[in-house]
Amino acid sequence: MNAFELYERHVNPGLAGLLRFTGLDVVEDHAEGMYVWDTQGKRYLDFLGLYGTLNLGHRHPRVVEAVKRQLDRMPMSVRVMISEPTARLAARLAEITPGDLSMTFFGNSGAEAVEAAFKLARMHTGKPEIVTTEKGFHGKTMGALSLTPKPEYQEPVAPLVPGVKVVPFGDADAVAAAIGPDTAAVIVEPIQGEGGINLPPEGYLRELRRITAERGVLLIFDEVQTGMGRTGRLWASEWEGVAPDLLTSAKALGGGVMPIGAVVGRAELFEPFLENPLVHSSTFGGNPLAAAAALAAIEVTLEEDLPARALAMGERLMQGLRELAARFPELIAEVRGKGLLVGLEFTDADIGAIAISELAARGVLTAFGLNNPKVVRLEPPLIVEEVHIQEALEALEQSLKATLEMLSGVL
Ligand SMILES: *Cc1c(COP(=O)(O)O)cnc(C)c1O
């Protein structure tokens, strides 16, 4: 049995079925920069970038080198001693995050970063409630899932963590109305990723900052997907010049080489750790190997000014997409995004699904937003060059033509 069949039998038959439908019933083999190869030797241009993880592309040499060095020295912390890369990374995060965020808790994923933020907010305020947004995505562990209001994920495992209020995204007045005497915090993505690349109205984050400050409620920005330069700034919240009380990061933080999650916050929010240092902990969180990767990833991102690159290349990509949208109005409803966090909204989820498989057949990888199957996400590595954008746009043009042909008579 090949790996695909083994996966289907022993891991997730439903997902294997979905991939088969997309024409990706293949097994990945190796990757470098913008490209992935399957075991048959077919090459794919990666325009998904592991949902905002591969900002530096696959196997960025400086991150790989940093990880190799740490691997040969000490990959795991004994935890009863302090690890240097972990401490240095926390200090670096204090420097590069907005406002006076100065303390970090490390986990291994976005969901763990959100869990920690949730717990810190409750511990600090002594209040139970959190306000979250419709179509928001914050992860799938019980706490994070409680903040991710999607019935398909929540109902099969209910009851969830109580005390969560859901408001429409982009509506600051709704947040103000949802805040009550028991509200600990408001959590929001600066731009919704899985929800379908939804940009809030200008001034939304500033309004949330004003409202939460006024009402004595904490503000959490979930920058797990928007962070590390993806939207054209190191953190998407910088676009509005606003600092939260807690900021979560994961995906691209490990440089696309190691998994790591972090919640960075104001010092007073970490006071519960003074009373009880083990009130929240993780065996692997911020391990030396992951921390070394993140330190290297931050340096590469800043030295190569990848946020600026994301902005320029994002403009170029969206311009090409808009030209295609104008030519295929039966298929594409809207193009939107910021930097290289780009959404292509199809007129129908099934049309999007056909287009994705046509793209995969032409060697370009993309995917749906988990909370919005009409929207195909384009999140290429920030190292993307003009030629790659050309390559993707040409493949998309051919895919749209093929989709249209397939649908002729139906539409
Ligand atoms: C992906 C994502 C998460 C969850 O991260 P995992 O590493 O998959 O647990 C949380 N928040 C946002 C905004 C995300 O995009």
Written as six digits, the tokens of 410 are 């139906």
Task: Look at residue 409 in the predicted model and tell me its pLDDT.
Answer: 72
| H helix or E strand, kind and range, residue 272 | helix 272-275
Residue 411 falls inside a structural domain: no
The closest of 387, 367, 389 to 376, measured between CA atoms, is 367
The verdict on 262 and 131 lying in the same domain is yes
Interval 141-199: pLDDT, tens: 999 999 999 999 999 999 999 999 999 999 999 999 999 999 999 999 999 999 999 99
Task: Look at residue 369 in the predicted model and tell me its pLDDT.
Answer: 74
Cβ-based neighbours of 326, under 8 Å, separated by 6 or more: none
Residue 141 falls inside a structural domain: yes
Task: Look at residue 411 in the predicted model and tell me its pLDDT.
Answer: 65
The verdict on 141 and 240 lying in the same domain is yes
- Number of domains making up the chain: 2
The verdict on 152 and 243 lying in the same domain is yes
The verdict on 104 and 215 lying in the same domain is yes
The verdict on 395 and 277 lying in the same domain is no
Q: Whole domain around residue 334: which residue ranges?
A: 3-59+305-406
Written as six digits, the tokens of 279 are 């009130």
Residue 20 falls inside a structural domain: yes
Q: How many C-beta atoms surround the C-beta of residue 31 within 10 A?
A: 17
Task: Look at residue 224 in the predicted model and tell me its pLDDT.
Answer: 98
Residue 69 falls inside a structural domain: no
Residue 65 falls inside a structural domain: no
Residue 286 falls inside a structural domain: yes
Q: Which one of 252, 278, 303 terminates a domain?
A: 303
The verdict on 390 and 310 lying in the same domain is yes
375 burial type by CB count under 10 A (0-12 exposed, 13-18 middle, 19+ buried): buried
In a mutational test of the pocket of ligand 1, which residue from 48, 53, 135, 137 has the highest number of ligand atoms less than 8 Å from its CB?
137
Q: How far is CA 314 from CA 201, 343, 380, 409, in A?
A: 19, 11, 9, 35
The verdict on 103 and 120 lying in the same domain is yes
Q: What is the mean pLDDT of each run of 10 residues along the chain (411 residues)?
A: 96 94 94 98 98 98 98 97 98 98 98 98 98 98 98 97 98 98 98 96 98 98 98 98 98 98 98 95 98 98 98 98 98 98 96 93 89 90 98 98 88 65
- Ligand 1 atom nearest the C-alpha of 189 is 13
Q: Which one of 303, 326, 348 terminates a domain?
A: 303
Task: Look at residue 247 in the predicted model and tell me its pLDDT.
Answer: 99
The verdict on 325 and 291 lying in the same domain is no
Q: Which one of 303, 334, 363 terminates a domain?
A: 303
- Cα separation, 324 vs 332, in Å, equals 8
- Ligand 1 atom nearest the C-alpha of 259 is 7
Residue 203 falls inside a structural domain: yes
In a mutational test of the pocket of ligand 1, which residue from 50, 53, 114 has the highest number of ligand atoms less than 8 Å from its CB?
114
